[in-house]
Amino acid sequence: GQNIDQPTEMTATEGAIVQINCTYQTSGFNGLFWYQQHAGEAPTFLSYNVLDGLEEKGRFSSFLSRSKGYSYLLLKELQMKDSASYLCAVLDSNYQLIWGAGTKLIIKP
């Protein structure tokens, strides 16, 4: 079967750094997405990785290791507005997005 695991909830302090991990087992792999979703809103695109390594985009970075079936999203200089759910999604061999359950990130002052 296809499976994507990420922690249910994480807490971090404003100004700090947090890493959200995602492990996956899917039938084929055509890339991994990270989305941010605020409560009551639709997801918004953060990053896309298809090759191994780190992609940096401002305060957010995303890492992928295809051999380990592992990715992480790194958020630096945390702000209160970063409080949201972060969704990991893998594009499988049929180009269907397989979604993780999401990680709720709580930022404390």
Partner 1 sequence: GAVVSQHPSWVICKSGTSVKIECRSLDFQATTMFWYRQFPKQSLMLMATSNEGSKATYEQGVEKDKFLINHASLTLSTLTVTSAHPEDSSFYICSARGEPGRTEPYEQYFGPGTRLTVT
Residues contributing to the site for partner 1 (CB under 8 A): 30-31, 33, 40-45, 48, 50, 87, 91, 95-97, 99-102
Q: Tokens 């979604």 label which residue?
A: 99
Closest separation in Å from C-beta 37 to partner 1: 9
The residue count of the chain comes to: 109
> Which CB atom, from 42 or from 109, has the smaller least distance to partner 1?
42
Closest separation in Å from C-beta 101 to partner 1: 4
* CA quadruple 73, 3, 9, 33: dihedral, nearest 10: 30
Give the C-alpha distances (Å, rounded to integers) separating 38 from 18, 44, 70, 76: 17, 9, 24, 18
Closest separation in Å from C-beta 50 to partner 1: 8
